[in-house]
Amino acid sequence: GQNIDQPTEMTATEGAIVQINCTYQTSGFNGLFWYQQHAGEAPTFLSYNVLDGLEEKGRFSSFLSRSKGYSYLLLKELQMKDSASYLCAVSDYGGATNKLIFGTGTLLAVQP
């Protein structure tokens, strides 16, 4: 089966660092994605990890441990515009299928 877990909500302060965790169980694995979704808008791509370790992209970093079925998204120097939902998604690969399964998202509120 497929199961992706992430916290429902988080609150952080402007200028601080926040880490959003994601654990997953899928029958196949071909990489993990993080997407950002502002209220009323479409999800947009943030990062992709397929190998263990940390991928850094500006203020955002994403980490993956395949053996633990675990990832996190790290946001540094938080800005008010970072208030959004952050979606963890696993590329579930098996046979002819290569589909992207999403967690329910973590709603991050950045406060002044």
Partner 1 sequence: DAGVIQSPRHEVTEMGQEVTLRCKPISGHNSLFWYRQTMMRGLELLIYFNNNVPIDDSGMPEDRFSAKMPNASFSTLKIQPSEPRDSAVYFCASRSPGLEGPGELFFGEGSRLTVL
Distance CA 37, CA 82 (A): 10
Tell me which residues touch partner 1 (CB under 8 A). Answer: 30-31, 33, 41-45, 48, 50, 87, 91, 93, 96-105
| Minimum CB–partner distance for residue 15 and partner 1 (Å) | 29
Q: Which residues contact 83 (CB under 8 A, 6 or more apart)?
A: 38, 108, 109, 110
Do 70 and 23 meet the contact criterion of CB atoms below 8 Å apart?
yes
Minimum CB–partner distance for residue 65 and partner 1 (Å): 18
CB of 111 to partner 1, least distance (A): 22
Nearer to partner 1, 69 or 105 (CB): 105
